[in-house]
Amino acid sequence: MSTVSASASASASGSVSDDEAARRWRLVLGRYAADQLSVGPQDDGLERSLRYLYDREYTARGHRVEQGAGLGGSQPHGVDVTALRWLDEAGGLFPRETFERMQVDAVSRYGLTDLLQDDAAVEALEPSRELAVAMMQVRGALNDRAAAGLRRVIQRVVEDIVKRLRTRFTTAVNGRIDRSRRSMHRVARNFDWKRTLRANLGRVDADGRMTVQDVRFSARTRRALTWDVILVVDQSGSMAASLLYSAVCAGILSGLPGINVQLYLFDTSVVDMSHLADDPVTVLMTAQLGGGTDIARAMRHAEQQVRNPSRTVVALVSDFYEGGSVSHLLATVRRMASSGVTMLGLAALDEAAEPVYDQGTARHLAECGMEVAALTPERFAEWLGEVLS
């Protein structure tokens, strides 16, 4: 019952009664504590839901699991409970964060991909980045109906991320602030607080309070020339989360004026996804996670696409664990740097948003002219806006 063990044990160590502590430990330990700890009537649903999912762990290890206490025929009214019934019940019993973790376990650890074959189950799933990543990693084992359900889940996750990121990219990338001109577009992103303060200095009362009557906004300068942004994304098995965000960023950038987006996914070969850059869902459904890593080959391919070095950004998204030739990789980066190409190496982030990458290779890349950083998508937008301004 690993999903609830951390939270339950932490709570049990707090200021709770012995009975409450015993209750929580019973839910953590499951049926193996049945001889010593009983399940109260109020926890019957929790117990059934947990057993339905996590008894699969014991079965996979060769343990025999007694029938009758899970979500099977022992349910009231003799109803045979399917994965959908489990999903409905668990969603109402557990806090959202716990339920999201259980969904991920159901798909990635216990193979409950039949959830994706039921329209109602797909709608009941709580969309999250973690769930989308887990589903992407099992996509190859899905039949057509389950794959269609997966696409709908990924679509919802992508829409949520786009909603959060689009404004950040638009603000950062779509033209720099021109403080020499006043803007008629009175929106927050154009607010010029310095000029507003100066314009209202004569309206400060004896207590130091300013009455603001003249609010100033700055215009934004549009780029006159097009930039090429080449995204080179590692699709090895450990890169699922980074691939998700990279596809979304490519989709947002494709909709901005003055930017030509090229998108390449790679493992030991390179796949041109540029024609799908504006469709992150299709990119994610097409990507083949897993395999080796040949960064040198991918960067050499990116180098061959450069038309105007001084107006080209190459963003490499990888954990920098090179399976190809490091010397060839570094030579390619040196050539692009000397030609004027701007390069950024985006290090992979783990589930806790901590960078996980080969620091030795990253250091060598930085020495050759590539800026290397572990950035969230929001910070990547800001970095790109600074480069393109």
Q: What is the pLDDT of residue 8?
A: 43
Q: Which of 50-59, 174-183, 251-260 holds the top average pLDDT? A: 251-260
The reply to whether 324 falls in a domain is yes
- Mean per-residue pLDDT for 251-272? 94
Q: With helix as H, strand as E and coil as C, how does 337-353 read? A: HHHCCEEEEEECECCCC
Q: What is the pLDDT of residue 81?
A: 41
- Mean per-residue pLDDT for 19-37? 64
The reply to whether 141 falls in a domain is no
When the pLDDT of each residue in the chain is averaged and rounded to a whole number, the result is: 77
Residues 293 and 347 in one domain: yes
Q: Among 104, 126, 148, which residue terminates a domain?
A: 126
Residues 245 and 364 in one domain: yes
| Cα 271 to Cα 126: distance, rounded to the nearest angstrom | 31
Q: What is the pLDDT of residue 6?
A: 41
* Residue range(s) defining the domain that contains residue 93: 2-126
Q: Among 163, 189, 221, which residue terminates a domain?
A: 221
| Type and span of the H or E element at 146 | helix 144-173
Higher pLDDT, 197 or 344: 344
CATH code assigned at 355? 3.40.50.410
**pLDDT, tens only, 35-48:** 666 666 666 667 66
Look at 160-164, 282-286, 347-351 and tell me which has the smallest mean pLDDT. 347-351
- Mean per-residue pLDDT for 281-295? 88
Residues 236 and 375 in one domain: yes
Return the number of other C-beta atoms located less than 10 Å from residue 211's C-beta. 9
Residues 248 and 371 in one domain: yes
Residues 210 and 329 in one domain: no
Q: What is the pLDDT of residue 363?
A: 95
**pLDDT, tens only, 155-170:** 999 999 999 999 889 8
| Cα 214 to Cα 192: distance, rounded to the nearest angstrom | 11
Specify the number of domains making up the chain: 3
The band of 316, judged by pLDDT with boundaries at 50, 70 and 90, is: very high
**pLDDT, tens only, 100-129:** 677 777 766 666 667 777 787 788 777 788
Residues 201 and 279 in one domain: no
The band of 239, judged by pLDDT with boundaries at 50, 70 and 90, is: confident
User: Dmax over Cα atoms in the chain, in whole Å?
Assistant: 82
Return the number of other C-beta atoms located less than 10 Å from residue 251's C-beta. 24
